Amino acid sequence: MKIIMLGAPGAGKGTQAKKIAEKYQIPHVSTGDIFRSNIKEGTELGMKAKGYIDQGGLVPDELTIGMLMDRIQKEDCKNGYVLDGFPRTIPQAESLTNALLERGQKIDSAINVDVPDENIIKRMSGRRACLSCGATYHIVHNPSKNEGICDVCGEKLVLRDDDKPETVKKRLTVYHDQTKPLIDYYKKAGVLTSVDGTQDMNLVFNDITAVLGV
């Protein structure tokens, strides 16, 4: 069961990816985690990636694909995996398809968590984070017990720059330009399913499992 999660930033695909991984006992594979582990372990690909990251640049696709393919060949991925955060562009998707084909493999399912832009802007601008301990809240869906104060450590909660409406709008523009075309790419490949991401997260998960099978 090789799954790709698609959806705009803030659509909730990361949350669903974790729930899928837990239910089906397959790894939740995110590119961020792969970068961090390769850099920490000092692998050749990790050191090359670090050079780009340290200079504020983007890690080239071939390096990312190299690290990703190393990761999904590990023993814990033998029954499948959930990819979260990759691919982000058509060239990345094509590179992944070709790399898998060389090993006689393919993506089984691409799940698009569909949420309109206006919902995402509202959802993300309601997020609050504790910069001290990393706990996260939402002023509507998951508020702290005392408004503006972290339940865990008592520090002040903040609206991160990433979650401010103007930043979210910019991220959504990038998503529509670069990442949304992946929906058509995987639709043509016959593996795409879209689910309504505006529902309660458990209902979204029920829709996903109905597609993947129990």
Residues serving a catalytic function are: 13, 88, 127, 160, 171
HEC sequence for the chain: CEEEEECCCCCCHHHHHHHHHHHHCCCEEEHHHHHHHHHHHCCHHHHHHHHHHHCCCCCCHHHHHHHHHHHHCCHHHCCCEEEECCCCCHHHHHHHHHHHHCCCCCCCEEEEEECCHHHHHHHHHCEEEECCCCCEEECCCECCCCCCECCCCCCEEECCHHHCHHHHHHHHHHHHHHHCHHHHHHHHCCCEEEEECCCCHHHHHHHHHHHHCC
CB atoms under 10 Å from CB of 150, counted, come to 22
Asked if 107 contacts 3 with a C-beta cutoff of 8 angstroms, the reply is yes
Radius of gyration of the chain (CA): 18
Separation of CA 112 from chain center: 11
